[in-house]
Structure 1
Amino acid sequence: MPGRLDSVEESATLRLADLTGELKKQGRDILSFNLGEPDFSTPANIIEAAAKALRSGKTHYAPSAGIPELREAIADKLKKENGIDVAGNDVLVTPGAKQAIFYACFSILEEGDEAIVFDPGWVSYDACIKMSGGKTVWVKSNEDGSLPAELPEHVSNKTKLIIINSPNNPSGAVLGIKDLRLVADVAGDNGLYVLSDEIYEKIIYEAKHLSMGSIIPERTITVNGFSKAYAMAGWRIGYATAPKPVLQNMLKVQQHTVSSPTTFVQYGALAALTGPQDSVERMRLEFKQRRDVVIKGIRGMGLRCEMPQGAFYAWPKVDGKSEEWAERFLEAGVGLTPGSAFGPHSDDHVRMSYASSMEDIKKGLERMAKLLGGGEGRTEDKRQR
């Protein structure tokens, strides 16, 4: 008898990162560009706030929804920066943004329901939908990352949820107001919820971040966290705000699974929001420098690659199956993630994370260029770059 997890694939990004780590242990010289984790250290004021909380005895259970001070600080941030008018009681603090995404899917989807995910899309959306008993309906994004006008054609009487992610993992595309209004109109016309994953909002370059919750708050679940903007990936701390019926169900799931986020970590998150923000800007500028080097290098190999407007990923197009290309690059000493992990329409891309040192990035690009040096598999883009 098939089980509920039989259709759920292992996380491709984590699996490939583990494989790369294993090859390194075997003595192989591998440069890994798989994981989406900032390589910077967590800012000192955040570490000190968590350490102070530990020393002062903040080691007991916290309120399941999060400590009041942090919930209030998040609500204040959402009002000022995102145009989402909520109070602290409208916020749920979670052990990472991924957990909040799962809670939302589990709270909204019943067996057989459908959720729309734009392709390319982060690997765990599909898994969260399936674990919730739902089915993923993949909708291919336009080549530049914008959303297709044909979106309404993919809505059925089983559709309950649309998931958007801006800036996008893996493409780095940023949704504009036209995209958000399209989704808002479809959601409003059909009584759907929208899950807006905004984890990369601070890592944005020429574009401007817009929040769906400021357009259609009564239908939007906004998810965010601290791992990307504040280099706090290992701290596992995120948050969500949502319409009250959904938020209440998300809280129930948290109460009966993890109980609450780690107590002292929440004080670190509070310091992240209320303390100096200069480290966020320094990291953003460094990522932008790396992006420019990566895109120039990839295009110089003859590969077509859209300019990412946010996040820290390059999304080059390859000629052939992405897993075969990932294997070839791995043999050349470069760990990349095959595009097939990000949706059924993305098997002709690979993802390269540039959350690595500039030294490693330049070495990795050299190895990739050497592999492509003979011209085999080149997908020359004749358009203006």
Structure 2
Amino acid sequence: MEHLINKKVQSIEISGIRKFFNMVAGTKGMISLTIGQPDFPTPAHVKNAGKRAIDENFTSYTHNAGEMALRKAACSFVKEKYNLSYQPETEVIVTSGASEAIDITLRTILDEDCEVILPGPVYPGYEPIITLCGATAVHADITKNDFRMTAELIEKHLTAKTRCIILPYPSNPTGVSLSKEELEDIANLVRGKDIFILADEIYSELSFDEVHTSIATMLKEQTIVINGLSKSHSMTGWRIGLLYAPETVAKHILKVHQYNVTCASSISQMAALEALTIGKDDAVAMKIDYKKRRDYVYDRLLNMGFEVVKPNGAFYFFIKMPESALNSFDFALSLVENAGVAVVPGSAFSAYGEGYFRISYAYSMETLEEALNRMETYLEKI
């Protein structure tokens, strides 16, 4: 019966990140630096809020857009942190993780044959959805630009078919963010055009060197902001995302969300309410620790002779491979087999990631030190 499967579904692949992780997961003694999973536990007070929700039988459907108390907290959070103004009644949707928010956004705004501009390399969670919508992903090569998606680069790819530009910053896989000035240039480029900005800001609270700036402060009427608690509060398994958009757009996204999941988990919503109020600064301590790890890993990589752009957010390095005949997949496989270290091949992040590999430093300092020691020994041999 496989021949009856939707052709667009047949054409997409499982994420290259997960594919490689699953392939090498059983390797004995291996250290994995592959998955973007914070190594901190969910804060205890947030877990307790989830437990209370269960004990108090808060286990029924909520409003499709989420509990009003949580939507108010979500709007207050981004107002205080990033000076973003949204109405809790009509301009925020609580989703089942940021992944669902991406899905319902693209399914709402894309038609057949339109185009979406996104950076290359880029997180692999966008292009398959674009394909399923019958649209076309157009990658802008950021490898020669210190991984920065500038207005100049975007302008080269604009056509009459351009419907959306995806700005995922701080970036997975590069850790690079954009400055206020760069965002203003992009906003000025697309202002007044029939083009949406999808601003994936899931790593906004893990911005190291300056406070995160959202392009929605400059171009709210054309921007859909996606955020959530997975990275900021180490709540990946709770599956809570936050989608902010003008009412004229949000009301249509809400329809797709309703028919997709009805509503996010009621229990997780109560944990999220605690996180965004009592725990609104929970990410600060984690960020301090991530920054120490970033600086340590950066120095080690430079001492090993790697060409690397220093990230200013998230918890990834996207590293230029040493000169060799290997492609990124074979290089990553060789690291597993000969050094006992798993990284993600750059090809998992579009064709523009070839020649690179990604490591996550969302691991303890001891784990990072041992992994880099092994990598250094391996490189000395080759």
Give me the TM-score of the superposition, normalised by structure 2: 0.94
Map 1:212-361 → 2, pairs under 5 A: 212-277=215-280, 279-318=282-321, 319=323, 320-331=326-337, 332-361=339-368
Counterpart code for 1:298: L
- CA distance, structure 1, for counterparts of residue 63 and residue 75 of structure 2: 17
| Residues in 2 aligned to 1:246 and 1:145: alpha-carbon distance in whole angstroms | 30
Report how far residue 357 of structure 1 moved.
1.3
Q: Work out which of the residue numbers 205, 211, 224 in structure 2 matches 1:202.
A: 205
Kept in 1: contact 2:206–2:232 (CA 8 A): yes
Q: Hey, what does 2:72 align to over in structure 1?
A: 72
| Bigger mean CA deviation after superposition, 128-137 or 183-192 | 183-192
> Which residue of 7, 10, 22 maps to 1:3?
7
- Please give the per-residue CA displacement for 1:270-329, whole angstroms capped at 9, x wherever unaligned: 000101445311111111111111111111111111111010001110135211211111
Range that drifts further, 126-135 or 254-263: 126-135
* Higher mean C-alpha displacement, 355-364 vs 146-155: 146-155
1:36-90 deviation per Cα after TM superposition (whole angstroms, max 9, x unaligned): 1101100011001111011001011111110000001111112222222111021
Q: What is the letter of the counterpart of residue 349 of structure 2?
A: F
Give 1:166's aligned residue.
169
Count of aligned residue pairs for this structure pair = 371
Structure 1 partner of 2:370? 363
Q: Determine the structure 2 residue equivalent to 1:143.
A: 145
Shift of the 150–308 alpha-carbon distance from structure 1 to 2, 3 Å rule, reads closer
CA contact (8 A) 1:301 1:373 kept: no
Could you tell me whether the CA contact under 8 Å between 2:199 and 2:224 is conserved in 1?
yes
Residue from 347, 364, 380 that aligns with 1:373: 380
Q: Distance in 2 between matches of 1:345 and 1:278?
A: 36
1:156 is aligned with what amino acid?
T
Deviates more, 1:147-156 or 1:228-237: 147-156
Instruction: Provide structure 1 residue ranges, at least 5 long, that are not aligned to the other structure.
Output: 377-385
Query: Structure 1 residue 249: deviation in Å?
Result: 2.0
1:45 aligns with 2:45: yes
Equivalent AA in structure 1 for residue 194 of structure 2: G
| Distance in 1, Cα, partners of 2:41 & 2:374 | 27
SS in 2 for 1:22: coil
The residue aligned with 1:380 is none
| 1:28-107 correspondence runs (5 A) | 28-89=28-89, 90-107=91-108
Alignment check: 8 A CA contact 2:140 2:153 kept: no
State the partner residue of 1:19: 23
The question of whether the paired residues in 1 share the 8 Å contact of 2:46 and 2:279 is answered with no
Residue deviations 1:329-364 (CA, integer Å, cap 9, x gap): 111211111111112222011000011111111111
Relative to 1, partners in 2 of residues 1:22 and 1:250: Cα closer, same or farther, differing over 3 Å?
Answer: farther
Counting aligned pairs with the same residue, the percent is 33
Q: What is the identity, as a one-letter code, of the residue corresponding to 2:298?
A: I
Q: Is the 8 A contact 1:59 1:264 kept in 2?
A: yes
Q: Distance in 2 between matches of 1:100 and 1:234?
A: 16
How far apart are the structure 2 equivalents of 1:289 and 1:304? 20
